[in-house]
Amino acid sequence: MLRPHWPRRVFAQLLLAQTVVTVGVTAVTAGLFLAPVSRELDREAMQRALAIAQVTATDPEVADAAAARDSGTAQGLAERVRRSTGAEFVVITDTAGIRLSHTDPARIGLRVSTDPEPALRGESVTAIQEGTLGRTARGKVPLRLADGRIVGEVSVGLSDDSIRGRLLSMAGGILLCAGAGLAAGLAATLVLARRLKRRTHNIAVADIAALLIEREAMLHGIREGMVALDAAGRIRLANDEALRLLALPADCAGRTVDQVLPPGRLADVLTGRIDGADLPAVRDDRVLVVNRTSPADGGAVITLRDRTELESLVRELDHTRGLTEALRAQDHEHANRMHTLLGLLELGRHEQAAAFISEQSGSHAALAARIGEQVRDPHVAALLAGKAAVAAERGIRLTVTPDSHLPDAAVDARALVTVVGNLVDNALDAAPGGAVEVRLRPVGATLLAEVADSGPGVPPELRERIFEEGWTSKDAPAHRPRGLGLAMVRRLVERSGGRLAVGAGPLGGARFTVELPEALHPLETA
Dump pLDDT digits (tens) for 74-87.
Answer: 889 989 998 888 88
**Count of Cβ atoms closer than 10 Å to residue 296 Cβ:** 5
Distances, alpha carbon 484 to alpha carbons 118, 245, 289, 319, 510, in Å: 100, 17, 11, 16, 18
Say if residue 472's pLDDT is above 70. Answer: no
**pLDDT average, residue stretch 353-375:** 69
Which candidate, 409, 484, 489, places its Cα nearest to that of 447?
Answer: 409
Highest-confidence segment of 95-104, 152-161, 232-241, 490-499: 95-104
Say if residue 525's pLDDT is above 50. Answer: no
What is the helix (H) or strand (E) element at residue 41, kind and residue range?
Answer: helix 10-57
Looking at per-residue pLDDT, the higher value among 183 and 208 belongs to 183
Condensed to tens digits (0 to 9), the pLDDT of residues 213-251 reads 666 666 666 778 888 888 888 888 888 888 888 888 888
pLDDT tier, 369 (very low <50, low <70, confident <90, very high otherwise): confident
What is the helix (H) or strand (E) element at residue 72, kind and residue range?
Answer: helix 71-85
Which candidate, 50, 43, 140, places its Cα nearest to that of 91?
Answer: 140
Q: Strands 397-400 and 225-229, how do they pair?
A: unpaired
Say how far apart CA 441 and CA 427 lie, in whole Å.
19
| H helix runs in 279-399, sequence order | 308-346, 350-374, 378-393
Say if residue 480's pLDDT is above 60. Answer: no
Condensed to tens digits (0 to 9), the pLDDT of residues 428-451 reads 888 888 899 999 999 888 889 999
Say how far apart CA 261 and CA 272 lie, in whole Å.
14
E strands present in 125-243: 125-131, 134-144, 150-159, 225-229, 235-238
| Alpha carbons within 13 A on the beta-carbon side of 291 | 8
* Domains in the chain, CATH or no CATH each: 10-166 (3.30.450.20), 206-306 (3.30.450.20), 373-525 (3.30.565.10)
Say if residue 258's pLDDT is above 80. Answer: yes
Say if residue 526's pLDDT is above 50. Answer: no
pLDDT tier, 167 (very low <50, low <70, confident <90, very high otherwise): low
Condensed to tens digits (0 to 9), the pLDDT of residues 288-304 reads 888 888 877 678 888 88
What is the signed CA dihedral for 146, 147, 153, 159, rounded to 10 degrees?
40
pLDDT tier, 21 (very low <50, low <70, confident <90, very high otherwise): confident
pLDDT, residue 479, reads 45
Q: Strands 510-516 and 499-504, how do they pair?
A: antiparallel
3-state DSSP of 348-383: CCHHHHHHHHHHHHHHHHHHHHHHHHHECCHHHHHH
Q: Is residue 445 within 8 Å of residue 525, measured between CB atoms?
A: yes
What is the helix (H) or strand (E) element at residue 303, kind and residue range?
Answer: strand 300-306
Provide long-range contacts, Cβ within 8 A and 24+ apart, for 124-129: 124/50, 124/54, 126/46, 126/47, 126/49, 126/50, 127/46, 128/42, 128/46, 128/160
pTM score, two decimals? 0.43
Cβ neighbours of residue 32 closer than 8 Å, sequence gap 6 or more: none
Q: How far is CA 133 from the centre of its chain?
A: 69
Say if residue 89's pLDDT is above 70. Answer: yes
E strands present in 58-108: 89-93
Say if residue 427's pLDDT is above 80. Answer: yes
Say if residue 503's pLDDT is above 50. Answer: yes
pLDDT, residue 512, reads 92
Say how far apart CA 184 and CA 180 lie, in whole Å.
6
**pLDDT average, residue stretch 440-469:** 86
Cβ neighbours of residue 356 closer than 8 Å, sequence gap 6 or more: 337, 340, 341, 344
**pLDDT average, residue stretch 385-402:** 83
Q: Positive or negative, the Cα torsion across 404, 409, 414, 419?
A: negative
pLDDT tier, 1 (very low <50, low <70, confident <90, very high otherwise): very low
pLDDT, residue 437, reads 93
